[in-house]
Structure formats: structure tokens, C-alpha cells
């Protein structure tokens, strides 16, 4: 790229403050993307070396899962220094080089901020764990026991067991919604909020363009620490926690989703607005009210720009009826907000396996998500059609899987290393021994193999992203309501004077539907989009799509 092109790209990055609306964001799990030094663990320099590949996909931004200093009990989601890079990933100078390279390639950089909790090795926690009189004595959620010595309430941890752990030096319990090594911060304390906003500013000053906010609805706990009510069995689901986890037996009305969170999000957004073009996407972890909370957290201009819930990350088959149900619910509860959709990420079974998708089905689902109203997160390897890796118990790293094995095998199967080439046993990921084994089944889907095959799924993703980027109606437009006719999802997207019709057949059975009134020209032929017949009907083969532009 010449200097003028670099200048033009940088200018675009600065001036398009609305870039996040309809953006395609590529999630990178740093431990498993690319190892640059042979220690078997991916790192920042490895990411930087692969950014030209990411840019070639046509995505708008990358989201990097945590690389902060951490004891790695939850692989970086237990932070011991918010301003430091863990040595296994590199240095702050390496991060600065990554940002510079990304920006030169036209990619924005979003990083994962874990604000709801820290590691129990964070200096803040170490300061308060030994005494009730320390400077930061109430920076975490502490409570006296009940008279009988048991925890203060019935709250449960997502990772199993009570959400409370006894600290003998204080003779109090501390709250942890996740591992006991991940104590929850006390957001009712304004000093905690200030400290976390200072951390946010630190990374904005370093040039990041935004944040993925981990567990955004867990920031506050009920100040009175009231018991959660039981959840009727018929309302339980395994969207957030596996079915064998008793966490699903409660309605978590007091341990998360507190109304005070909106005030903190307003403070957070005010800080973002000091840095034009910066944006945030929040992870809403709730099995019952996820879409409603998404609507609350993204409404107006004083909260976060985007959120995603777990409806499309669930195990339930994503039928046409289910897509309509979810999108109609969004129209009902989040009409003024903005969704960010994902089928896969670092916490769930890869969707190719979760929904048992054929190659043709994977193409149809890729086209679907890239045509829906909202922004999109793609998880590394999704564009290759990677299935969930089978990780043996003796190779497991994830404490979640170790706890609930064998009914729930944890998250390691979606976190195995990226496969770049088929020619060596480690897929081009590392010259050493990888921290998780590279799946042999993944090697035939490696980037190098697919690059040489014009019919490969990788190129389908590129074409679908390019179509989205070419037509503002698909990236930023409204929709007229998502509908289902049998197994076919169909809708129109509108932006200014541009209207695009989309129909996606989510089955292997042929289907026929009417094209809306008007004059249409077929687009997306490179995605297998079919043209309307002379009778004005659209005839779809199994897993086929029809995309048309109104003229």
C-alpha cells in the first residue's frame, strides 16, 4: 500500500464515526490464532503477521479476546493488570505495532474489556482480602455470613457451586459469578467505576477503536443481596450454562441485570464520545431476558452502541421459524437499539457442529447472518467451516469442561488453534507444541488449501461480505419485518433509496415464493443467488438464496 493510500485509509477510519453500524467484526482468540515464537501459544506478533489475511476477508474490525496480564485460571478473563500485556502474548510495544498495522490495512481494533470482575491476584483484591480497613476494603462485593455461617444468599456460580467463597482473613464471603479466582467488583462504589473508566481511557489513548464488554449485564449485584427466586422447570434452558449446571434452576433477578447499570453505561458512553468513532459491543448473558436487556442497553445515544444476546449461539436448531421469532422479538423490545449477531464464538460449540451443517447449509447460514439487520461477529475459523474439535479429557485446559465432564466437555473444542496450512501436524500455527492439540480433521480445511480453491467456503464468506459492503441497505438499512414461508426466511432491507430483497432457504427441500411487487434485478449471483422466473416467482433449490435489488 502506497503512502497516499495509507493516508486515505487513515482518514476514512477517523471520519466514519458510524462505522460500527452494520460492521463485520472478526473475533481473534489470541492463544490460538498464530504463534510467532514457538512456545505453542499464540501471541500479538502472530496476530500482526496474519492481519493481511483478515483484511482480505473485507471485515471492518477485529475483536481480540483478553491479552492482559493474568494468572490464566480462565485464560485471560481473570485480569491481574488491566494496563499490562501478559508476557506470553508480548509487550505493549507489540500491541502498538498491531494497532498501527491494522489501521494501515483499514481494520479497526476492538479489545475485550472484562470489567465485572478481576483475578484474585489483582492488587486491588490483594489490598482488601486481608483486612476490612484497607484502602480498597469495599472495592469488591463482600458480605458477612448468615448466623449459621453459611453464605449470605442462594446465588450460584456459572462455573458450578455457590457464588460465594469464604475469606478467613476478613471473616467474610466474597462474590464471584464465575470462578472463585474471579471476584466481582463492587460497582456501587464510585471509586471502582472511576478506576475502570481510567483503564478504558488508557486503551483509547493507545489507539483502540472500541471494546467488546464481557458480561455487560453482570456489573451490578443487588445491594440488599436478596435471594434469587427459583425458575420453573419449564422455563429453564441451557443457553448460558449447560443443562447439568444448577445455575439454570434460578431466575437471576438479583445477582445481575440491575437497573443501576444504565447509569454506569451512560458514563462509559460519555467517555467513548470523547474519542470520535470509538464504539462498544456488550455481551448480554441471560437465558430469559437477553433480547430485552440488549434493547435497554443500546437504546438512544447514551448507552453502548451494540449488544449481542445468546439466541443465535444456542444449541436449538436455527430454523426459519426461530429466526423470525428472534427478529420479531428484537423489533418489539429493541426497535431503537442495535443488535450484533454471532453464530459462533470462544464460549460455545462451533455452529457447524452445533447445528450439524453440511457445506451447502453453512453457505446459506453465512449469507443469512450477513444480510440481517445488525452488526456481525465472525469467529476465527468460521470462514473455513471448522467443526468443533474433539479434545480428549487428558488434553483439556478449560476448568468449565473439567468440572462438568463428560456431560459437558467445556469450551476447548472451539478454541483449538487456527489452521493455516495442511502440510504440517500443527497446521502452520506453531513450530512448537500447541497449548491445545490441532485437530487433524481441521487440516484439510486450512487457509492455504481453501485459497487455492475458488469454490471453497472461505471465498463464499469473502463474497458475502463484499456484497454487504457494496449495498448500504444490507449493512446499515432497516428491514420490513422478517418472515418465514415454510423453511424460507425472507425480508427486504431499505436504506435511503436502495431496497434489497433477501430470501434464504434453510432446508434441502426446494421452495417457491413470490417476489414483492416492483422491478428487481438479481444480485449476489456469486453466492448462488437465483433469478426470478418469468412468472414472477422465485424458485429456490435446497439451501439456495435469492437476493435482488429494486430498480
- Catalytic residue positions? 214, 274
Q: Report whether 337 contacts 302 (CB < 8 A).
A: no
318: cell is 436455527
Look at residues 5, 113, 104, 19 and name the one whose alpha carbon lies nearest to residue 64.
113
132: cell is 476490612
Integer Cα distance of 188 and 260 in angstroms: 8
Angle between helices 320-333 and 290-298 (to 10 degrees): 40
Q: Report whether 457 contacts 466 (CB < 8 A).
A: no
Q: If you count DSSP H runs as helices and E runs as strands, how many of each does the chain have, helices first?
A: 14, 21
Strands (E), 240-293: 279-283
Q: Report whether 529 contacts 520 (CB < 8 A).
A: no
Integer Cα distance of 129 and 138 in angstroms: 10
Q: Report whether 19 contacts 112 (CB < 8 A).
A: no
Buried b (16+ CB within 10 A) or exposed e, 86-116: bebbbeeebbeebbebbbbbbbbbbbbbbbb
Query: Is residue 204 within a helix (H) or strand (E), and if so which, with residue range?
Result: helix 190-205
Look at residues 370, 378, 367 and name the one whose alpha carbon lies nearest to residue 26.
378
Q: Is the dihedral of CA 184, 189, 193, 198 positive or negative?
A: negative
Phi-psi region of 207 (alpha: psi -120 to 50; beta: other; left: phi over 0): left
Integer Cα distance of 299 and 83 in angstroms: 30
Q: What is the chain's alpha carbon radius of gyration, rounded to the nearest angstrom?
A: 23
Residue matched to cell numbers 480453491 = 453
Amino acid at each position: 500500500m502506497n503512502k497516499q493510500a495509507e493516508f486515505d485509509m487513515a482518514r476514512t477510519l477517523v471520519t466514519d464515526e458510524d462505522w460500527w453500524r452494520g460492521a463485520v467484526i472478526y473475533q481473534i482468540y489470541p492463544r490460538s490464532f498464530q504463534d510467532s515464537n514457538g512456545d505453542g501459544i499464540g501471541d500479538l506478533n502472530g496476530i500482526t503477521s496474519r492481519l493481511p489475511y483478515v483484511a482480505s476477508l473485507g471485515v471492518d474490525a477485529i475483536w481480540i479476546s483478553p491479552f492482559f496480564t493474568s494468572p490464566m485460571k480462565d485464560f485471560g478473563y481473570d485480569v491481574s493488570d488491566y494496563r499490562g500485556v501478559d508476557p506470553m502474548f508480548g509487550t505493549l510495544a507489540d500491541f502498538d505495532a498491531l494497532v498501527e498495522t491494522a489501521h494501515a490495512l483499514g481494520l479497526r481494533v476492538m479489545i475485550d474489556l472484562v470489567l465485572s470482575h478481576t483475578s484474585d491476584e489483582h492488587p486491588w483484591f490483594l489490598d482488601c482480602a486481608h483486612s476490612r480497613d484497607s484502602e480498597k476494603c469495599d472495592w469488591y462485593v463482600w458480605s458477612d455470613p448468615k448466623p449459621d455461617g453459611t453464605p449470605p444468599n442462594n446465588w450460584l456460580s456459572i462455573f458450578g457451586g455457590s457464588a460465594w467463597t469464604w475469606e478467613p482473613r476478613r471473616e467474610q464471603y466474597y462474590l464471584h459469578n464465575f470462578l472463585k479466582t474471579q471476584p466481582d467488583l463492587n460497582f456501587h462504589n464510585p471509586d471502582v467505576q472511576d478506576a475502570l473508566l481510567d483503564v478504558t481511557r488508557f486503551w483509547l489513548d493507545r489507539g483502540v477503536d472500541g471494546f467488546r464488554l464481557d458480561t455487560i449485564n453482570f456489573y451490578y449485584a443487588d445491594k440488599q443481596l436478596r435471594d434469587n427466586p427459583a425458575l420453573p422447570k419449564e422455563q429453564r434452558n441451557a443457553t448460558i450454562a449447560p443443562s447439568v449446571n444448577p445455575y439454570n434452576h434460578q431466575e437471576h433477578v438479583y445477582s445481575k441485570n440491575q437497573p443501576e447499570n444504565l447509569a454506569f453505561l451512560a458514563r462509559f458512553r460519555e467517555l467513548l464520545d470523547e474519542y470520535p468513532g470509538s464504539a462498544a459491543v456488550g455481551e448480554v448473558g441471560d437465558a430469559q431476558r437477553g433480547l430485552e436487556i440488549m434493547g435497554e442497553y443500546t437504546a438512544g445515544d447514551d448507552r453502548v452502541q451494540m449488544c449481542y444476546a445468546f439466541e443465535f449461539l444456542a444449541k436449538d436448531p436455527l430454523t426459519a421459524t426461530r429466526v423470525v421469532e428472534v427478529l420479531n422479538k428484537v423489533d418489539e423490545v429493541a426497535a431503537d437499539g442495535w443488535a450484533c449477531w454471532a453464530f459462533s464464538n470462544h464460549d460455545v460449540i462451533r455452529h457447524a457442529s452445533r447445528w450439524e451443517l453440511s457445506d451447502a447449509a453453512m453457505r446459506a447460514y453465512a449469507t443469512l447472518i450477513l444480510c440481517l439487520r445488525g452488526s456481525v461477529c465472525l469467529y476465527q475459523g468460521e470462514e473455513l467451516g471448522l467443526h468443533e474439535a474433539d479434545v480428549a479429557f487428558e488434553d483439556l485446559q478449560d476448568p468449565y469442561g473439567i468440572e462438568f465432564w463428560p456431560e459437558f466437555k467445556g469450551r476447548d473444542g472451539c478454541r483449538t488453534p487456527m489452521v493455516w496450512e495442511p502440510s504440517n501436524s500443527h497446521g502452520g500455527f506453531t513450530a512448537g507444541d500447541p497449548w491445545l492439540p490441532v485437530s487433524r480433521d481441521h487440516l484439510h480445511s486450512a487457509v492455504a488449501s481453501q485459497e487455492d480453491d475458488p469454490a471453497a467456503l472461505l471465498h463464499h464468506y469473502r463474497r458475502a461480505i463484499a456484497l454487504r459492503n457494496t449495498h448500504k441497505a444490507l449493512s446499515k438499512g432497516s428491514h420490513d419485518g422478517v418472515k418465514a414461508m415454510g423453511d424460507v426466511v425472507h425480508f427486504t432491507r431499505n436504506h435511503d433509496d436502495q431496497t434489497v430483497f433477501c430470501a434464504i432457504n434453510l432446508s434441502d427441500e426446494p421452495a417457491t415464493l413470490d417476489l414483492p411487487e416492483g422491478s428487481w434485478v438479481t444480485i449476489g449471483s456469486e453466492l448462488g443467488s437465483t433469478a426470478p422466473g418469468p412468472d414472477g416467482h422465485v424458485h429456490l433449490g435446497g439451501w439456495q438464496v435469492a437476493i435482488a435489488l429494486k430498480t
